[in-house]
């Protein structure tokens, strides 16, 4: 994420040029060589960031519900298998037990893969988000006449007038709204994570359970 913000500053130095101070002030941007942005607030307070978080939370909820449903079904199947044991020939019961163990292992592996996929989507979210909003940030950088934009959370001391987060949120909401509609709709079993769209996932989302 910081690399993208640094890239924005590099673009300004290479060719965007510095606007006049009067123009920057008219647009609500203070003139400064360095401007600060709170990237976490961008993710949590913009309409686009909220949309991404809502989508991944819904995907997480579906995955948790599926895992819980499967666990309940396996528990009932195990209980039924146990009840059959006294009246089932040993060889036959051993085959049934082995088949059940194989099924449990397969479903557990599927659950782990689905959880890993969701984690990868979450990790990709900030990168996708910054790619979409980068033109807005580059515009703010140019208007301020700045040469670099830094993540506010990585700066120990700063002057509040250099923080353009509020303005960035307003601009992103006005220009981008809820973001590009490029995600496919889920199909088939709504509880099956294999049918979930390849969602970008914002940070801060918890695990999916087993």
Residue 151 domain flag: yes
Question: ∠ at Cα 171 (53, 31), nearest 5°?
Answer: 125
In a domain, 11, yes or no: yes
**Closest to 172 in 3D by CA, of 140, 205, 127:** 140
* pLDDT value at 35 more than 60: yes
Residue 21, domain member (yes or no): yes
201 inside domain: no
Residue at 205 is within a domain: no
Task: Provide the mean pLDDT of the chain.
Answer: 77
The domain containing residue 115 runs over which residues?
Answer: 2-184+191-195
Report percent pLDDT > 90 for the chain: 45
Number of structural domains the chain divides into: 1
Q: For residue range 76-99, list pLDDT tens digits in order.
A: 999 999 999 989 898 999 999 999
Any idea which residue has 């592996």 for tokens?
A: 109
Please give the model's pTM, rounded to 2 decimal places.
0.64
- Which residue, among 118, 116, 109, 107, has the nearest Cα to 72 in the 3D structure? 107
Residue 208 resides in a domain: no
pLDDT of residue 196: 35
Task: Grade residue 24 by pLDDT with cuts at 50, 70 and 90.
Answer: very low
């Amino acid at each position: 994420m910081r690399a993208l913000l640094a890239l924005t500053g590099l673009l300004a130095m290479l060719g965007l040029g510095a606007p006049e101070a009067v123009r920057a002030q008219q647009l609500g941007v203070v003139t400064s060589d360095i401007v600060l942005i709170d990237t976490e607030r961008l993710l949590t307070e913009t309409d686009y960031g909220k949309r991404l978080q809502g989508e991944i939370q819904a995907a997480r909820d579906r995955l948790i519900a599926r895992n819980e449903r499967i666990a309940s079904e396996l528990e009932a199947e195990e209980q039924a298998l146990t009840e059959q044991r006294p009246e089932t020939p040993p060889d036959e019961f051993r085959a049934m037990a082995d088949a059940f163990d194989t099924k449990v292992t397969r479903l557990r592996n599927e659950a782990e893969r689905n959880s890993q996929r969701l984690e990868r989507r979450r990790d990709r979210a900030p990168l996708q988000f910054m790619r979409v909003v980068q033109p807005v940030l580059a515009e703010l950088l140019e208007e301020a006449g700045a040469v670099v934009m830094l993540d506010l959370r990585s700066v120990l001391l700063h002057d509040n007038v250099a923080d353009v987060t509020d303005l960035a949120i307003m601009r992103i909401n006005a220009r981008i709204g809820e973001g590009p509609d490029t995600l496919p709709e889920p199909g088939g079993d709504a509880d099956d994570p294999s049918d979930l769209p390849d969602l970008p996932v914002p940070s801060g989302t918890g695990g999916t359970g087993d």
